[in-house]
Amino acid sequence: MYRILEKRSLNPTVTLMRIEAPAVAKKAEPGQFIILRTDAEGERIPLTVADYDRAAGSVTIIFQIVGATTEKLNALQEGDSLHDFVGPLGRATETDGKRKVAVVGGGVGCAIAYPVAKKFFEQGTEVHTVAGFRTKDLVILEKEFEAASTKFVKMSDDGSWGEKGLVTDALRRLIESGEQYDEVITIGPLPMMKFVCKLTKEYGIKTVASMNPIMIDGTGMCGGCRLTVGGETKFACVDGPEFDGHLIDFDEAIARSSMYKPFERAAHEATCNLLRKGDELRG
């Protein structure tokens, strides 16, 4: 069993959990993911590793409450245990030999962008972080990014945090002002990553995007997480999750991600009602 050592709400819809999983903690690297199940009947969901502590034997995950399973996960408390927690899966971010990078995160994707920024920063790479959120109330990991970035640009859709505008506006400005990046790493909603990649392609800057498709086993068996990269079928679980952003077929990835939307909506509502019922009963 995998005990929840710490639980913290980062904003009304995003939660951080530190999980006791020594075997995973021993191997985890930024860019990799885990798969968990909350209970014996639960579905397997992939979540990217947000941090790890090899000495304490713990792995940190950050998730947005978007569906039935994340709702159930969020209902667990410190001291409770997850039924299954397996990893680290996928390939780690390649950080070697890069002198200057831009890390572009959007929304809850910033939870994945943070360990990547941190790893670059700790190895002496100059890190420019551009983080974007819809509004101030949804901001996560602000202090952490401050500490792991040479330059930190804050963007919000409504201007309530940092500047009003999109992450691509900020990135374009940085590039136009003469900043030269060895690589741009982008993690966030698919449409955001699509436009970041479109932008960097104009300037010929190598860009890596972290993909988070639907998965089941996560070990290279089912093929559910496939995507097209440079005209070839790739599997995010074993070939990724990071791919050359200029070669990813984002439109196909966006279409595939909506496959189970109606099912997810129904399951989410059913779970919400159940949890509400449980809360009422507990009084």
Partner 1 sequence: MANLNPQKTPMPLQDPKVRAYNFDEVALGYTEQMALEEADRCLNCKHMPCVSGCPVGISIPSFIQKVKVGEFEEAYRILTESSSLPAVCGRVCPQESQCESKCVRGIKGEPVGIGRLERFVADYHNENCTETAEKPTPNGHRVAVVGSGPSGLTCAGDLAKKGYDVTVFEALHTAGGVLVYGIPEFRLPKAIVAKEIETLQSLGVKIAVNTVVGKTVSVEELMQEEGFEAVFIGSGAGLPRFMRIPGENLKGVYSANEFLTRVNLMKAYRKGSATPIRAVSTVAVVGGGNVAMDAARSALRLGAKKVYIVYRRSLEELPARREEVEHAMEEGIEFLLLNNPTEILGDENGFVKGMKCIRMELGEPDASGRRSPVEIPGSEYTLDCDCVIMSIGTSPNPLIKSTTKGLEVNRRGGIVVNEATGQTSLDGVYAGGDAVTGAATVILAMGAGKTAAKAIDETLQKQNR
Q: Which parts of this chain interact with partner 1 (CB under 8 A)?
A: 23-24, 27, 37, 41-44, 68-69, 83-89, 216-217, 219-224, 226-228, 233, 235, 238, 252, 255-256, 258-260, 263-264, 267
State in angstroms the smallest separation of the CB of 84 from partner 1. Answer: 4
State in angstroms the smallest separation of the CB of 26 from partner 1. Answer: 8
Nearer to partner 1, 59 or 101 (CB): 59
Nearer to partner 1, 28 or 205 (CB): 28
Nearer to partner 1, 82 or 127 (CB): 82
Residue closest to 139 by CA, chosen among 91, 107, 95: 107
State in angstroms the smallest separation of the CB of 266 from partner 1. Answer: 9
State in angstroms the smallest separation of the CB of 49 from partner 1. Answer: 12
- The DSSP 8-state label assigned to residue 248 in this structure reads B
State in angstroms the smallest separation of the CB of 56 from partner 1. Answer: 18
Burial (0-12, 13-18, 19+ Cβ within 10 Å), 127: buried
| Rg of the chain in Å (alpha carbons) | 19
Backbone angles phi, psi at 259, to 5 degrees: -55, -40
Nearer to partner 1, 223 or 230 (CB): 223
Residue closest to 161 by CA, chosen among 194, 121, 191, 132: 132
The torsion region of residue 96 among left (phi > 0), alpha (psi -120 to 50) and beta comes to: beta
State in angstroms the smallest separation of the CB of 68 from partner 1. Answer: 6
State in angstroms the smallest separation of the CB of 81 from partner 1. Answer: 13
| Distance in angstroms (rounded) separating the CA atoms of residues 67 and 159 | 28
Cα dihedral 161, 164, 170, 174 in deg (nearest 10): -90
Nearer to partner 1, 130 or 227 (CB): 227
Nearer to partner 1, 151 or 277 (CB): 277
Do 209 and 197 form a contact (C-beta atoms < 8 A)?
Answer: yes
| Distance in angstroms (rounded) separating the CA atoms of residues 16 and 10 | 7
Residue closest to 64 by CA, chosen among 212, 185, 208, 166: 212
Nearer to partner 1, 8 or 27 (CB): 27
